[in-house]
């Protein structure tokens, strides 16, 4: 993959997103799209995601995050695009 075609998106998801397998859902969706990054729970009840890879794949992940797994309720998704850091080798669930 051409590095110039890669991007990074920082995503914050609010709603009923903790205790409903949301992080695992994001990890599976991201890995299925060959993305790198991490997902973790925030103390304020939100879930935070860093996703790096091909822009179309990152955009697809964001669409899936907007839906969430069956037990979740997504109220708000905020995104911030930036240059990829290259710090991630795969996509993992981070534990605070």
Catalytic residues: 23, 41
Q: Please measure the distance between the N-terminal and C-terminal CA atoms of the chain and give it in whole angstroms.
A: 32
- At residue 42, the 3 state secondary structure works out as coil
Q: Phi and psi for 68 in degrees, rounded to 5?
A: 75, 170
Identify the helix (H) or strand (E) that includes residue 82. Answer: strand 73-82
Q: What are 2's strand-pairing partners?
A: none
Look at residues 21, 70, 28, 71 and name the one whose alpha carbon lies nearest to residue 47: 21
């Amino acid at each position: 993959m051409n590095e110039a075609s890669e991007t990074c998106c920082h995503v914050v998801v609010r709603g009923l997103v903790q205790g409903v397998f949301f992080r695992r859902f994001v990890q599976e969706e991201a890995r299925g799209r060959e993305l790198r990054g991490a997902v973790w729970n925030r103390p304020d009840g939100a879930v935070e995601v860093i996703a790096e890879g091909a822009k179309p794949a990152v955009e697809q992940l964001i669409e899936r995050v907007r839906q969430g797994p069956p037990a979740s309720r997504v109220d708000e998704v905020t995104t911030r695009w930036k240059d990829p850091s290259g710090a991630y080798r795969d996509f993992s669930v981070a534990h605070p």
